[in-house]
Structure 1
Amino acid sequence: MESVTKLAAKNAVVIFSKSSCCMCHAIKRLFYEQGVNPMIYELDELDNNYGTQIEQSLVRLGCKPSVPAVFIGGKFVGSAKTVMTLLLDGSLKKMLKEAGALWL
């Protein structure tokens, strides 16, 4: 789990994803449309079983499903359902500004 938290802390927005996951694609697109350039880790494209290890760590952190897993400001926010809820209630933009992911 330490590697996940280290990776999540390196950028304002980090998304753990799989290239074949349609919800992952939708969440990545949502952030791009907000003007955010997230760091994306495609777990199915990482070498040496590293993606599987990260996915197992995400599950231990409480990510269900394991992807997409979104971190903002180094803190685990949630999966697609949580991110969509935050978008709809207006708090996502505030979180992104506080993390330094948005300048406006």
Structure 2
Amino acid sequence: MECVQKLASQKAVVIFSKSTCCMCHAIKRLFYEQGVSPMIYELDEQKNGGEMERALIRLGCKPSVPAVFVGGKFVGSAKDLLTQHLDGSLNKMLKDAGALWL
């Protein structure tokens, strides 16, 4: 669990993903289209990806991916992020974390 928390705090936006997950792709695209360059960890391509996935589940990530951290804090999975994007709270979080300047 320490590994996930350490990785999640290394950049303003961190996404734990799987390369074959369509919702992960949609969330990554959401950030890219806003001009945000997140750090992405593809769990299915990581040596310790299974261990990281179990740690994400223990942190409350259900489903385990996509798991998005902004400013080192878990902000949610796909459903949560889309809701926050639509209500405008995602932009504020991104600005506060220094990931978005506009």
Band of TM-score, shorter chain: over 0.9
Correspondence for 1:24: 24
Once the two structures are superposed, residues 46-70 of structure 1 have per-residue CA deviations (whole angstroms, 9 ceiling, x without a partner) of 12xx000000000000100000000
Moved beyond 3 Å, runs of 4+: none
Q: CA deviation at 1:34?
A: 0.8
Residue 40 of structure 2: SS of its match in structure 1?
Answer: strand
- % same residue: 76
Correspondence for 2:70: 72
Residue 41 of structure 1: SS of its match in structure 2?
Answer: strand
Correspondence for 2:98: 100
Mapping of 1:30-45 within 5 angstroms?
A: 30-45=30-45
The count of residues paired between Structure 1 and Structure 2 equals: 102
Q: CA deviation at 1:35?
A: 0.7
Gaps of 5+ in 1: none
Once the two structures are superposed, residues 81-103 of structure 1 have per-residue CA deviations (whole angstroms, 9 ceiling, x without a partner) of 00000000001000000000011
